[in-house]
């Protein structure tokens, strides 16, 4: 078996499978904590494209950086992506024919490939210390030259190199980039992109701890896992020529590339977990965004439906996605529009669904969920169309369960009414409500409108006083329905309480 076939699992490991005929895409997050929205953004289109063309979507964990590794993140990644509804066909937890799907479990594969490049002269060992590298880089920059490694170690034996000083004990393996020529690739979204080889750095492929860098690992894995379309953020464009070179040296076919625009924050820089609290998927979940709304919104960033529809689901993306319709500019993440979309989806929810989704938020706020009195099925219809985010629900619902509220008694005084009049009105209202035959919205409205008319006050004046008394706020769901849900006893109690505050 020749060296190159040994390195090319494609020819031996698997027998042809019909399921492998379609495209294969992957999302490859690093386990550095809560996954970034950008990860979901790209994954959404990956999955859509894979589904559209009957291919596969793969999840691979790129855990080659032990320093940045965060213990729980793998679970966080699984949870967040699944919450959004993005399911993978192959991955560390579900397995698949090209595993393992964690790079830390494939170290020897990368080492073999580095060895291969060393043998073919496309790579060399480097003993330069980090200090020296930093110094060299600085010097080059001062000379206004592209900052690159100066190749001090190229062509030298370990002994020769050590004699020169500033060497560390364990070498790295660097790729040996050609001095001349051009390396180019065709991006599905941007077209042809070219780089001059002389400007490309001799990238480290294998670190001194034996782990690969991203550059070696992606290429080896994408090939080994038969990835046909490499999708990722625009930030990777400038390292792509290095990857292209590796494919060439290994004698492998190049995958298609698609670099998505970078999601940006309001200052136009890329969204980062450091600067933007909403950069993680977890944030959206915790703040009560519906996964279908987030997904819809993400699909609207940098992509649009051919027919211009703005409200659509994942199946519509599957049906219509194409790389050609992805725009080139990095969209600013507009939470405002997301809120609108989220509110739209919330209004669409069935009562039962809404109640279920609200459960965790109400519980967290210490509000009753099961056996609540008044029951949520009565309350939720009143707040549903007022919600933009599920997390707002507790504040809208709380007053139903608070026998006594905190509010300025002055709020009870509607414009143009003095204390005595208001007190009198409240007293009269109490009487009417006590006498009301049925305590439903219709009856209440009739009775109270009549009262306002008799006392010659504007309905709004009376109603606002009652609203504050019953809901402890000048802003509330419709008054009579609210009163009906509260029930006679609670309403009378609150009105009496209000009366006594004046």
Q: Which of residues 462-501 bind RNA (CB under 7 A)?
A: 463-464, 467, 474-481
Binding RNA (rule: CB under 7 A), the pick from 74, 310, 316, 424 is 310
In whole angstroms, the minimum distance from the beta carbon of 371 to RNA comes to 27
Q: Is residue 196 close enough to count as binding RNA by CB under 7 A? A: yes
Residue 62 dihedral angles phi and psi, to the nearest 5°? -100, 80
Q: Indicate if 207 belongs to the active site.
A: no
Burial environment of residue 501 by CB neighbours within 10 A (0 to 12, 13 to 18, 19 or more): middle
What tokens does 28 get? 């490859």
Candidates 86, 21, 30, 92; CA nearest to 59 is 92
Candidates 113, 100, 118, 107; CA nearest to 4 is 113
Alpha helices in 164-239 (DSSP H): 214-224
Q: Which of residues 91-110 bind RNA (CB under 7 A)?
A: none
In whole angstroms, the minimum distance from the beta carbon of 49 to RNA comes to 17
Candidates 69, 202, 60; CA nearest to 125 is 202
Q: Is residue 165 close enough to count as binding RNA by CB under 7 A? A: no
Q: Is residue 62 close enough to count as binding RNA by CB under 7 A? A: yes
Q: Is residue 73 close enough to count as binding RNA by CB under 7 A? A: no
**Which of 148, 207, 273, 388 is an active site residue?**
273
Binding RNA (rule: CB under 7 A), the pick from 208, 348, 421, 443 is 208
Q: Which of residues 226-265 bind RNA (CB under 7 A)?
A: 234-239, 261-262, 264
The residue among 165 and 306 lying less far from RNA, judged by its C-beta, is: 306
- The count of residues interacting with RNA (CB under 7 A) is 90
Q: Give the x-and-dash track for 125-144 against RNA (CB under 7 A).
A: ---xxx--x---x---x--x
Q: Is residue 35 close enough to count as binding RNA by CB under 7 A? A: no
Order of strands across the sheet that contains 256-260: 56-59, 24-27, 229-233, 256-260, 182-187, 191-196
CB of 223 within 8 A of CB of 4?
no
Binding RNA (rule: CB under 7 A), the pick from 65, 79, 93, 286 is 65
Q: Give the x-and-dash track for 347-366 against RNA (CB under 7 A).
A: x-------------------
CB of 172 within 8 A of CB of 208?
yes
In whole angstroms, the minimum distance from the beta carbon of 151 to RNA comes to 12
Q: Which stretch binds RNA (CB under 7 A): 41-49, 326-334, 399-407, 430-438?
A: 326-334
Query: For 338-483, where are the E strands, in sequence order?
Result: none
Q: Is residue 405 close enough to count as binding RNA by CB under 7 A? A: no
Q: Which stretch binds RNA (CB under 7 A): 88-96, 188-196, 221-229, 402-410?
A: 188-196
In whole angstroms, the minimum distance from the beta carbon of 237 to RNA comes to 5
Q: Is residue 170 close enough to count as binding RNA by CB under 7 A? A: yes
Q: Is residue 337 close enough to count as binding RNA by CB under 7 A? A: yes
CB of 89 within 8 A of CB of 99?
no
Q: Which of residues 429-468 bind RNA (CB under 7 A)?
A: 445, 459-460, 463-464, 467
DSSP state of 254: P
In whole angstroms, the minimum distance from the beta carbon of 3 to RNA comes to 25
Chain centre to alpha carbon of residue 216: 27
Query: For 207-334, where are the E strands, in sequence order?
Result: 229-233, 256-260
Q: Which stretch binds RNA (CB under 7 A): 59-67, 70-78, 150-158, 312-320?
A: 59-67
Q: Is residue 204 close enough to count as binding RNA by CB under 7 A? A: yes
The residue among 86 and 188 lying less far from RNA, judged by its C-beta, is: 188
Cα separation of 23 and 49, whole Å? Answer: 8
Number of H helices, E strands in the chain: 20, 9
Cα separation of 423 and 364, whole Å? Answer: 38
Cα separation of 368 and 338, whole Å? Answer: 29
In whole angstroms, the minimum distance from the beta carbon of 363 to RNA comes to 24
CB of 212 within 8 A of CB of 206?
yes
Q: Is residue 377 close enough to count as binding RNA by CB under 7 A? A: no
Cα separation of 317 and 297, whole Å? Answer: 12
The set of catalytic residues is 273
């Amino acid at each position: 078996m020749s060296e190159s076939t040994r390195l090319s699992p494609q020819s031996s490991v698997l027998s042809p499978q019909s399921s492998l005929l379609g495209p294969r895409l992957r999302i490859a997050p690093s386990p550095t904590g809560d996954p970034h929205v950008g990860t979901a953004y790209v994954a959404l289109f990956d999955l859509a494209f894979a589904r559209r063309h009957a291919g596969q979507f793969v999840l691979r964990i790129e855990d080659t950086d032990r320093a940045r590794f965060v213990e729980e993140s793998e679970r966080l990644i699984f949870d967040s992506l699944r919450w959004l509804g993005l399911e993978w066909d192959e991955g560390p937890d579900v397995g698949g024919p090209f595993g393992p799907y964690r790079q830390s479990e494939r170290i020897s594969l990368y080492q073999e490939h580095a060895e291969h490049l060393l043998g073919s002269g496309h790579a060399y060992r480097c003993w330069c210390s980090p200090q020296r590298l930093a110094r060299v880089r600085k010097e080059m920059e001062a000379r206004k030259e592209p900052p690159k490694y100066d190749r001090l170690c190229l062509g030298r034996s370990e002994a020769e190199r050590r004699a020169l000083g500033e060497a560390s004990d364990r070498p790295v393996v660097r790729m040996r980039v050609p001095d001349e020529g051009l390396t180019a690739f065709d991006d599905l979204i941007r077209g042809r992109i070219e780089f001059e080889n002389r400007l490309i750095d001799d990238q480290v492929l294998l670190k001194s701890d034996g782990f690969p860098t991203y550059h070696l690992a992606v290429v080896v894995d994408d090939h080994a896992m038969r990835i046909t379309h490499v999708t990722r953020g625009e930030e990777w464009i400038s390292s792509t020529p290095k990857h292209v070179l590796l494919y060439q040296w290994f004698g492998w076919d190049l995958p298609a590339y698609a670099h998505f625009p970078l999601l940006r924050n309001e200052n136009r820089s890329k969204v980062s977990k450091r600067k933007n609290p909403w950069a993680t998927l977890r944030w959206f979940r915790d703040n009560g965004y519906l996964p279908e709304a987030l997904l819809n919104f993400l699909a609207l960033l940098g992509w649009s439906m051919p027919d211009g529809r703005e409200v659509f689901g994942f199946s519509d993306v599957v049906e219509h996605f194409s790389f050609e319709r992805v725009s080139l500019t990095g969209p600013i993440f507009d939470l405002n529009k997301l809120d609108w979309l989220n509110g739209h989806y919330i209004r669409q929810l069935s009562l039962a669904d809404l109640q279920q989704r609200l459960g965790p938020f109400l519980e967290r706020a210490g509000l009753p969920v099961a056996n609540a009195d008044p029951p949520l099925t009565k309350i939720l219809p009143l707040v549903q169309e007022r919600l933009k985010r599920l997390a707002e629900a507790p504040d809208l619902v709380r007053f139903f369960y608070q026998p006594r509220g905190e509010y300025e008694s002055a709020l009870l005084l509607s414009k143009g009414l003095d204390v005595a009049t208001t007190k009198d009105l409240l007293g009269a209202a109490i009487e009417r409500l006590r006498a009301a035959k049925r305590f439903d919205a219709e009856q209440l409205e009739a009775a109270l409108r009549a009262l306002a008319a008799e006392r010659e006050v504007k309905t709004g004046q009376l109603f606002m006083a009652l609203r504050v008394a019953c809901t402890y706020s000048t802003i509330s769901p419709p008054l009579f329905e609210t009163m009906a849900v509260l029930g006679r006893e609670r309403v009378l109690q609150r009105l009496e309480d209000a009366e006594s505050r004046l």
